[in-house]
Structure 1
Amino acid sequence: MIDHIDLAILRILRENARVQWKQIGEQIHMTGAAVANRIQRLEELGVIEGYTVKVNEARIGNGMCVFVTVMMKDYKHTKFQEFIKGLEQIKEAHRVSGEPCFLLKVHVADHHELSILLDKILEFGHYKINISIGQVI
């Protein structure tokens, strides 16, 4: 069972996954050891699946964020999923209900790199794109 203390720990970890257990404990009025036990339990329950680094894509040369909706030509969803797993430009991929089959979040350096990627996607289906003007939240 997840309680309000677990949710508070998760909120803190979302802001900074490198925060020390003692610092979390100070914020929620628990010992570092108690926080460690809670975090271990959340990991064992599969609530915490892992830890990651948030990268500023623009600062590493991938300043163009594009959302691509893909409508499959055939029912080759498995092959398409294998294809996109190997592409570092694709930061998120969701299989969705409705008109498109997939929604992709893509970061590329420029229009040329985007064009190359879109040409590869055409082998699987049609696409529509939306270029991000700026992230709100």
Structure 2
Amino acid sequence: MDLDATDLTIAALLQQEGRLSATEIARAVGLSVSAANDRLRRLQANGTIRATAALLDPARLGAGCCCFLLLDLAWQGEAEAVAALTARPEVMELHHISGPHSYLMKIRVADPAAVQRFLTEAVKPLPAVLRTETIFSLQAEKETPCLPLAGDLAGGRA
């Protein structure tokens, strides 16, 4: 799917502020409102824009403890374990990775005691789980849902 410079600009604008109106987008990219609306609908229809969501402050909502878990899973039961883990609201990300571990999981919970409960109640009872390693994030220096776009990858924007 080819995106032109205007599509990328619209995507970048919406990554920074998802509540922009079609009028504001049209003004920013030099299009008519109807042309901007057409582009927005196309970007949504082709899956470039998957959703528009508010970014919430985890600490203010009782999920200030961020951890990364390295999981070693047996092949037998792996699919069931992945399904069970992805269904958990504490799991922010779950990545099948290369290297000595099977998966890297990011969770957000209230505190270290909640991490222990999550491991005890949700992770370790899964038959496929062979081993876990937990890494606590002390401070996030950068955490963003924004993707690098064409200009970013070429060194155009930081």
Moved more, 63-72 or 123-132: 123-132
1:127 matched to 2:127? no
Moved more, 89-98 or 60-69: 89-98
The one-letter code of the counterpart of 1:128 is E
Instruction: Look up the SS of the partner of 1:56 in the other structure.
Output: coil
Deviations 1:36-69 (A, max 9, x none): 1111111121111222221111101111000111
Q: 1:38 to 1:88 in 2, by over 3 A?
A: same
Runs of 4+ that moved beyond 3 A: none
The 5 Å alignment of 1:97-112 reads 97-112=98-113
How far does residue 74 in structure 1 lie from its aligned partner after superposition?
4.4
Distance in 1, matches of 2:113 and 2:34, equals 52
Partner of 2:71 in structure 1? 70
CA RMSD in angstroms, aligned pairs only: 1.4
The 5 Å alignment of 1:19-38 reads 19-38=20-39
1:52 matched to 2:57? no
Q: Which runs of 5+ in 1 are unaligned?
A: none
Distance in 2, matches of 1:50 and 1:63, equals 24
1:85 matched to 2:86? yes
Partner of 2:146 in structure 1? none
Distance in 1, matches of 2:44 and 2:94, equals 24
The one-letter code of the counterpart of 2:124 is L
Deviations 1:63-113 (A, max 9, x none): 100011111144322111121122111111111122211111100101111
Q: Percent identity?
A: 22
The one-letter code of the counterpart of 1:55 is L
How far does residue 129 in structure 1 lie from its aligned partner after superposition?
1.5
Deviations 1:109-133 (A, max 9, x none): 0111100111231232311111112
Distance in 2, matches of 1:47 and 1:63, equals 30
Instruction: Look up the SS of the partner of 1:17 in the other structure.
Output: coil
Distance in 2, matches of 1:67 and 1:10, equals 29
Checking the alignment, whether the CA contact within 8 Å between 1:74 and 1:125 is kept in structure 2 is no
1:16 matched to 2:21? no
Distance in 2, matches of 1:35 and 1:10, equals 12
Q: TM-score, normalised by structure 1?
A: 0.92
